[in-house]
Structure 1
């Protein structure tokens, strides 16, 4: 808990930029009771230019810790640090307890991937320059002493925008899937990295899945066949925002069907899987940004 009197979850908002540029503080809003998120002052974090956030109890003290992915610190300044704030009985710390070196980080995962009891950190990194998407994503293994100053492993992604951890091949270990926005063009490969028997990952992908400017990925058994599927939010194809997003069906023994299922989207920026109607089937929720005319007054679905 970060304070407040209500039972509803806190809302943590990573702030990329405001009117003054990439200097806007990220914030958390707490429930004062009855889903009232406006009566109490927000908790602010010294995390500017942030594009994503994840929460876990890193130090085991029973209080949530907050890690931001910082995308950039200026219009062309993508090399920066992404901060971790530890929770305490008195609330959140004002200054970061740890900072990870990142470059154009667009998503972050705070999870015990190898089952050793320590939280590991994965950053999906999108770009290192205005039009330069040739940047790897990174993993920092957690340990009793925290994390290394430099990544323990780099994944050969390009333009990575999202990352999800799930047991994708049914062996009981957590694997990683990255959505990738761009390499040479937005018709590019998103990637799956399977955890191996040694409890680590290779630098090169186990599977490459064609996507169209993918901005996010999520995992779940969409069709109920017992295999984990991957859903990608596609944002652009051959200059058009009104393009299909993809479901790659998981197969027995691992791998994916060659041809994805398609469903309409419009400049999709994010995707979630949730049973919205209580029928025990996963439904797909898409956040759409704009249409082919760059009109942002459009529905998500």
Structure 2
């Protein structure tokens, strides 16, 4: 039983959280066995002790269930249970749970609203290590678990449960507390992790490479000091350096390269694979002694690879170690050793996997993943980048050895054929640095998600259920003129980086939704709907023009189509980041170097709603002195009545760091542009604890409770689509999150 304190606040779909040890609670009730999460149910009760209905759109026996999710902490049994509080009268809750023997088929618990991810249906999806991650037997059970790094100052553990199935066990802990690594002001660490039993005591020590924070471009040692029977514990031993004091800066791998029985270190220096031999006499992690680096050569030439992720194994059974390398640009290479175990000689690299632009930050692990006695390898990328038509999408691959121990031959396998996988309600994946809009694309009464990705494609995720427990169909790329809709980048070497940002509108007032897409060049494209409103068929794209010129901003555009000045005609809002040239520079100058002009532009419609004619752009200004809104890498954004005063306010975002409210202080006179006199900087209404974990924003009442919620994509830090309930955002700003207490008294409520 849970008692919830609403803190004197009027509530609607608020978010509450409490720490629970389900195994201990089960034991306290005389039961034993592993708790199965599929049995968890959270129910709100009224004052008379009766279950309260919550979601009328669900099956009759599920309508009383409120959404919940768990945050886990490896290897602890304790979890944080977050759940929805329907209103301020809901102060009594019951949490039902049981053992695996009473498990039921997986049932989606619903979306909570604290930034949790929108999900697809239950199913398998490949999981692999990209360059930030590693496989290691962390729990000592003889198989390889997966530890994932990235933007946040945390490491995430996926436990290997056998037969290729990995289970999310949450953030890594030390001495019973979450390990929060050193980070910058935006709480970013950009971690890459590796493990090795350096001191030979039988448990893995940890080595973490940082790309942000006080340890930026350093590799820090964390000795595993776990006491038998005690909690998993690590102790920091400082940055790794050579005996001459030179710091190690790249991702590290540990291997006995010269066959002398001691672990050496492989890394990169100046984008060249480098070996640091172990010259120490002590095995203590704190006393590591590494020689200055020497380049590793192939065909007599230093191996030059950008930020490689390295592994070494005897792949051809000839008794020496061969070198595998994942790279920053994605290619995976094998350098075969034609020398000896003690004196390696590598031949030229052979391309094994991935070759397209932005197959980025690949990781590789060589091991016998399927237990057939021969070595395989698993590769993963920074983001999923399947070609159009590929099904299922490629989230990682096992390269299964179908040859022999001495004559390997590899065959790519997915989750259905042996690749490591998770099985759960999978996040809706729109690649990293995405942006999202909610729209009822097929007119079935349910909001779907349309998302633009960094490769320039636009994804549709169809809602198959409802708003409170939405389950989305797997994403599909939208087509235009029968081909995948795609926009492009400016630079010839980065043309594939289209960074599509979308808005949905009926551009020509024919009763059919159309699509407007901004791209990385700062161009704006219109895709008219040639189908119906319920079954859109997009025609070829054409560039939108204003003031007699095609719109051409200073790179990384984003777009919003709204009636900005209240004259009844749709206008265009456009954001650009100031990192590229324009053919026109068709706006009032802001910098001597016009390529650096950035901000938010307003294009007024001087035509009609059915045939818009856009005029010259003007900067959107704010503050008592009416200065141009100046945010780092600005992106949109929405124009909605946030504060309920009947006037639409402007919501704008800064890079992948925060979203800000600019209150409309005008009189709201039709035909007059809004004013935002109160603040030039705006009010931060959404700021993730770690930067780069959001991207853009779409503001709407997602769950139908009468207030405006926020939907956002993810930046460099993830590839999902997130939901923030308005109550949760207000609670964060006010410091009024509901209080929750576990009540272990006799149960006075009736079972549902």
TM-score when normalising by structure 1? 0.56
Alpha carbons 1:139, 1:151 under 8 Å: kept: yes
Shift of residue 224 of structure 1?
A: 1.2
1:17 is matched with: 151
1:155 aligned residue (485, 489, 505):
485
2:193 is matched with: none
How do residues 201-240 of structure 1 correspond to structure 2 at under 5 angstroms? 201-202=537-538, 204-208=540-544, 209-238=551-580
Alpha carbons 1:220, 1:273 under 8 Å: kept: yes
Alpha carbons 1:243, 1:265 under 8 Å: kept: no
Alpha carbons 2:459, 2:476 under 8 Å: kept: no
Task: Kindly provide the CA deviation profile for residues 37-67 of structure 1, in whole angstroms up to 9, marking residues without a partner as x.
Answer: xxxxxxxxxxxxxxxxxxxxxxxxxxxxxxx
How do residues 1-301 of structure 1 correspond to structure 2 at under 5 angstroms? 2=67, 3-5=83-85, 7=87, 10-12=113-115, 17-19=151-153, 74=361, 77-80=382-385, 96-97=424-425, 102-104=430-432, 106-117=434-445, 120-127=448-455, 135-139=456-460, 147=473, 150-151=476-477, 153=479, 154-158=484-488, 159-180=498-519, 182-183=520-521, 188-198=522-532, 199-202=535-538, 204-208=540-544, 209-238=551-580, 243-250=598-605, 251-252=607-608, 253-263=610-620, 264-266=628-630, 267=632, 268-275=634-641, 280-289=646-655, 300-301=681-682
Query: 1 or 2, which has the higher helix percentage?
Result: 2
Q: CA RMSD in A?
A: 4.5
CA distance in 2, matches of 1:225, 1:82: 48
CA distance in 1, matches of 2:428, 2:576: 28
Alpha carbons 1:82, 1:99 under 8 Å: kept: no
CA distance in 2, matches of 1:226, 1:174: 18
CA distance in 1, matches of 2:601, 2:566: 17
Shift of residue 156 of structure 1?
A: 2.7
CA distance in 1, matches of 2:502, 2:577: 16
Q: Which runs of 5+ in 1 are unaligned?
A: 28-70, 84-93, 128-134, 291-298
Q: Which runs of 5+ in 2 are unaligned?
A: 1-12, 14-66, 68-82, 89-111, 118-149, 158-167, 171-357, 363-380, 386-392, 396-421, 466-471, 489-497, 545-550, 581-592, 621-627, 657-679, 683-752
Distance 1:111 1:22, change over 3 A: farther
Total equivalences in the alignment: 226
Name the stretch that deviates more: 195-204 or 156-165.
Answer: 195-204
Larger radius of gyration: 2
SS at match of 2:84: coil
Alpha carbons 1:193, 1:207 under 8 Å: kept: no
Name the stretch that deviates more: 224-233 or 259-268.
Answer: 259-268
Shift of residue 249 of structure 1?
A: 2.7
Alpha carbons 1:156, 1:203 under 8 Å: kept: no
TM-score when normalising by structure 2? 0.25
Distance 1:218 1:7, change over 3 A: farther
Moved over 6 A (4+): 141-144
Shift of residue 97 of structure 1?
A: 3.6
Task: Kindly provide the CA deviation profile for residues 105-141 of structure 1, in whole angstroms up to 9, marking residues without a partner as x.
Answer: 61234432232456554330223xxxxxxx4334466
